[in-house]
Amino acid sequence: MTQPFTVHFDPVAFHIGPVQVHWYGLMYLLGFLGAGLLGERRRKQGRLPVSRDALSDLAFYAMLGIIVGGRVWYMLFYYAGGPQWIWTDPLALFKVWDGGMSFHGGLIGVLVAAWWWSRRHRLHFFDTMDFVAPLVPLGLGLGRLGNFINGELWGKPSDASWAMIFPNAKMEDVQLAHDQPALAQQLAQLGGIPRHPSQLYEMALEGLVMFAVLWLVSMKPRPRYLVSGLFALMYGCFRFAIEFVRVPDPQLGYLAWGWLTMGQVQSLPLIVIGVVLVAMSRRAPTLVPAVH
C-alpha cells in the first residue's frame, strides 16, 4: 500500500520576537492585500466612481464586517453547546484564539458594510457588490489553504490516489476503525486513514475557479446584478457539493437524512439568491465606467 501524503505543517510561519505569526493569519492578510490591489486597479479603470480614499474606507469596513460577522455567526450557529453562551459566557465571543469563523457570517458582515458605505456615497448597493465580488475569491482560496496548512476541516475517508492523512483526525480515525475492519487495517499500516483533502477542493473551486470566472466576466461592464449573482450561485453550488466529502463540524454532525450539514443549509439561500440576481440582470442597466 502506497504511503499517502501526511498533512503535518507547522502552523507558525515565523516569529517576531515573542510573537508567533501563523500561516492562517498570513493567508487572511494576503487575501486583504490582494483584494485591495485588484480593487484599486478596477477603480482606476473607472469601474466604480469613487476616490482612492473612499475605496480604502470600503476595504476597511469590509474587513471589519468579515471579522465581526464571521465570528458572531459562528458563535450563533456552530459554537458547541449552542447560543447559551449569550447569557452564560458572553465573553466567549471575544475568545478568537479558540478558533471559529463562518464564511456566511463574514458575507453578511460585508453586505452590511457595503450597504452602509454605498448609502454614504450615493451609489447603488449592487453596483458596489458587483465591483467587490471578483475580489473576494482570492481571500476565500487563501483561507482554505490556511485550513489545509492547519490540518483542519478535513474530508471523509477515501481510496482516491490523492487522499491524504490528517494527524489531527487521529481520534476520529480510531473511532471509524473500531467499526470498519478495512479502515482498521489502513490505520495500522499507514498510521492514519487517508481522507479527501476537502480544503484543497474548496481552494480550487471557491478560490481559483470563482476568481477566474468572475474576473473574466467582469473585465468589461456587465448589467447590474450579474456578477453578484454569479458569485452567490457559484459559491452556493460549490460549497453544497463539497460538503458531501467534508466531515461536518463534530458539535453539529448531520442535521437530517444522514448527509445534510449546516454548511449546505446556509448555502441553499445563496443558490436561490444567485439565480434571482442573474435573472434580474437581464433587464438591468449597465454601469458605464467613469472617464478619468
Q: How confident is the model at residue 85 (pLDDT cuts 50, 70, 90)?
A: low
Q: What does the alpha-carbon distance between residue 143 and residue 172 come to, in Å, rounded to a whole number?
A: 24
Residues forming the annotated binding site? 144
Q: Which residue has the higher pLDDT, 81 or 263?
A: 263
Looking at residue 292, its pLDDT comes to 52
* Residues 144, 218, 199: CA angle, nearest 5 degrees: 10
Q: How far apart are CA 255 and CA 264, in angstroms?
A: 10
Q: What is the pLDDT of residues 184-233, one digit of tens each?
A: 999 999 999 999 999 999 999 999 999 999 999 999 999 999 999 999 99
Q: What is the pLDDT of residue 249?
A: 82
| Distances 228 to 53, 121, 216, 275 between C-alpha atoms, Å | 24, 19, 14, 10
3-state secondary structure the chain: CCCCEECCCCCEEEEECCEEEEHHHHHHHHHHHHHHHHHHHHHHCCCCCCCHHHHHHHHHHHHHHHHHHHHHHHHHHCCCCHHHHHHHCHHHHHCHHHCCCCHHHHHHHHHHHHHHHHHHCCCCHHHHHHHHHHHHHHHHHHHHHHHHHHCCCCECECCCCCCEECHHHHHHHHHHHHHCHHHHHHHHHHCCCCECCHHHHHHHHHHHHHHHHHHHHCCCCCECCHHHHHHHHHHHHHHHHHCCCECCCCCCCCCECCCECHHHHHHHHHHHHHHHHHHHHCCCCECCCCCC
pLDDT tens digit sequence for 222-251: 999 999 999 999 999 999 999 999 999 877
**Average pLDDT over the chain, rounded to whole?**
90
